[in-house]
Amino acid sequence: MAAGFSAQLLEAMLTPTRIAIILVVFTFSSFIVDFTWKPRYSSSLPRVGFGGGIIGNIRNWVGYISHFNDWVAEGYEKYTKHDRAYVVPSAPSRPPEIVVPRSQTSWLLDFPDRMVSAEEAHADILYSSYQFLGIDDEFPNRTLHKNLARNLIGLIPRLQDDVQESVDAAFGLDTDNWKTLNLWEAWMEIVPRVSNRILAGDETCKNKTFVNSQIAFADIVVRNSFILNMFPRILQPIFAPLVVASNWRVWRKSFAIIRPLIETRLRDMERKAAGDPAYDTWEPEESLITWMIRQAQLDGRPDRLTPKNLSQSLLPVEFAAIHTTVLTGHNLMLDLLSSNPADNYLEIVRDETRRVFAEQPDGYWSKQGLASLHRTDSAIRESLRLSHFATSLTHRKVIAKEGITNPKEGWHAPPGSYLMLDLAGAHHDPDLYPDPWRYDALRFSRPREEYEARPLAERQDPDEALRVKRLGLVTTSDIYLPFSHGRHACPGRFFVAHELKMILAYLLGNYEIKPIAERPKPMWIGQTIIPPMEVTVEVRRRKGTV
């Protein structure tokens, strides 16, 4: 009877309304606890947003989704352009960020990693400890940085084959009829396969099930980042494993496909290293998998030499290679197709790529040939400048126990603080880029052409020659930040430059694409873009092309 009475009493107490109230109070209390844990910034730092304190922060958390870009634009005009740092609200799960002015870029980026960490900032933004299954991106990124450039020349012909096959599959071969296709889906058909030629190798990049699983994983990381941004940090150990269950499910699907390849590669490389005569002339396929095996052996890290670890180490690079490159390619085509027809940018790029390709030996691009595509290079660089897909791609987390102090303004950032550089403000500043909201595909190639057209006697200034050289796509600076800047600039940007040039050259050389009247506008959630993925274009294969 007592047990029955207790059950009745519990049932009477835990009504749906009371449960809802308990959950609201619990969640609100968690945000309050989170708030008390976050670093406190100097009162001398100005702020944008809805103010401080508990009420102000609640309003900032709600407003972050739709107001973040406006806040940063306001801060750029009020403070950044006057060489002052300021504080901008962030997502509920993260502390506000100190936006460092452009004039202090070197001060921020010159800190050693033991004091101010890019790796930890990026890990927090993407919730890497959960999303990438406990694998950090330091090992694969370091490996990529050491090996990609030295192997790229030999990989270009194979990449070109993948570009041609994937573009043909996405855009079709019909030379008589116009075809309507979704531009985002077309880039998703092209980029993951081409990228995986470098990451997973020739056989695997052609496996649609594997490639589709990597696309799904990239999509899940983006979605889960939005979700986890809204959870209090104190609750993430409880909820994050539930949120990322889909990450594990998708990875297991891809692992089942790539595991035999990794096991075979490990065995073969071990036998060659042991001097097995059967492997005297055998060489492993050059890919990130092979490079990570070599690097783990050099590092003396046998724990990394397992199929599971190597497969999971691919994930952070797969995410970056797929997500950012598809966004870049999609933006590039929207900018070109919606540009003023009188500027004739599509034909200008097409003419340059066809002319230079005709000069290439054996019908394959060379590194030198791709490097000579100055107008194409400029068209891509200009799109990255104008159509940014994040408000900032340069974030740092203070991990020094004593924090850091800004010598110019005197403010102190305690441990746990976040600092960032404003990409959007610099890229759209009319003092830095005249007519900054116009897509000018030749903005960066025009100065080079004007410089090279001058008599040799007028081209003796080494500083001027260096300034012209620095207008290339992969060159970063404090006013050009799509690949970040400094020693932690994106290590894959050289590959991306080659990849995009080959795709654009083949696409424009072999397909007619109808212009679009107006560039569709993206939507923003916090710091991140949601591209207009519904955009369709009219395409037709050119006759007489190969």
Which residue positions form the known binding site? Answer: 490
**The two three-digit tokens of residue 465, written as one number:** 């020659």
Which residues define the annotated binding site for heme?
A: 490
**The two three-digit tokens of residue 27, written as one number:** 């969640």
φ and ψ at residue 99, rounded to 5 degrees = -90, 115
* Alpha carbon distance 169, 326 (integer Å): 16
* Alpha carbon distance 378, 11 (integer Å): 68
Check: CB of residue 168 under 8 Å from CB of residue 125: no
Q: Indicate the pairing of strand 116-117 with strand 528-530.
A: unpaired
Question: Both ends of the chain: CA-CA distance in Å?
Answer: 85
To which residue do tokens 């809204």 refer? 230
* Alpha carbon distance 431, 368 (integer Å): 34
* Alpha carbon distance 326, 320 (integer Å): 10
- 143: helix, strand or coil: helix
To which residue do tokens 């531009």 refer? 183
Specify which residues 116 forms β-bridges with. 398
* Alpha carbon distance 403, 383 (integer Å): 37
Residues 523-539: b if buried by 16+ CB within 10 A, e if exposed: ebbbbbbebbeebebeb
* Alpha carbon distance 515, 23 (integer Å): 52
φ and ψ at residue 528, rounded to 5 degrees = -120, 145
* Alpha carbon distance 216, 166 (integer Å): 18
Check: CB of residue 441 under 8 Å from CB of residue 349: yes
Q: Indicate the pairing of strand 394-398 with strand 116-117.
A: antiparallel
**The two three-digit tokens of residue 489, written as one number:** 């600039």
* Alpha carbon distance 365, 156 (integer Å): 7
* Alpha carbon distance 392, 239 (integer Å): 27
